[in-house]
Amino acid sequence: MDDVVQDALMTVHRARAGYDPRRPFLPWLHAIARRRGIDRLRRAGRGPQEVHDPLAYCAEVDPGPATGTAPGAGGRSMALARAVAALAECQRQAIENLGLRELSLDDTARLIGRSKGALKVNLHRAIEALRASLIQEKE
């Protein structure tokens, strides 16, 4: 909590030149404090402890052994490989680097020469296309 307050005060200090005294002060301060609180929650939510959190896993689905010996595992991976191969080049690069290789946005942007915003859009569109393709194949 103290870190959020300190972050908010530092932001107020840095942004004080942009404050318009003709506008109310408290809503301006509230917006800054709220955004710093949200930023702190986002940073805390992306930590490595999430991987070991039992609530982070779906207890209803057991994917089977990681070796791919579960019934249908080979078919699922082949279907996924076909669906990824059918994506547009920019979407395929986003899925392969961000999703499969687990590179950061910064690293992927440097690697393929796109902005982070474009990568986010490509990743979202790729996930939607994969979802639609895999659902259609399942039916």
Quote the mean pLDDT of the chain. Answer: 78
Tell me the pLDDT tens digit for each residue of 35-77. 999 988 888 775 554 444 444 333 333 333 444 444 455 667 7
Where do the domains of the chain lie? 2-50, 74-138
What local confidence, expressed as pLDDT, does residue 71 receive?
46
What local confidence, expressed as pLDDT, does residue 48 receive?
52
In 3D space, the residue among 86, 68, 85 whose CA is nearest the CA of residue 77 turns out to be 68
State pTM to two decimals.
0.46
- 35-68 b/e (C-beta count within 10 Å ≥ 16 → b): ebeeeeeeeeeeeeeeeeeeeeeeeeeeeeeeee
Predicted confidence (pLDDT) at residue 83 exceeds the cutoff of 80: yes
What local confidence, expressed as pLDDT, does residue 36 receive?
92
What local confidence, expressed as pLDDT, does residue 135 receive?
84
Fold held by 74-138: Arc Repressor Mutant, subunit A (1.10.10)
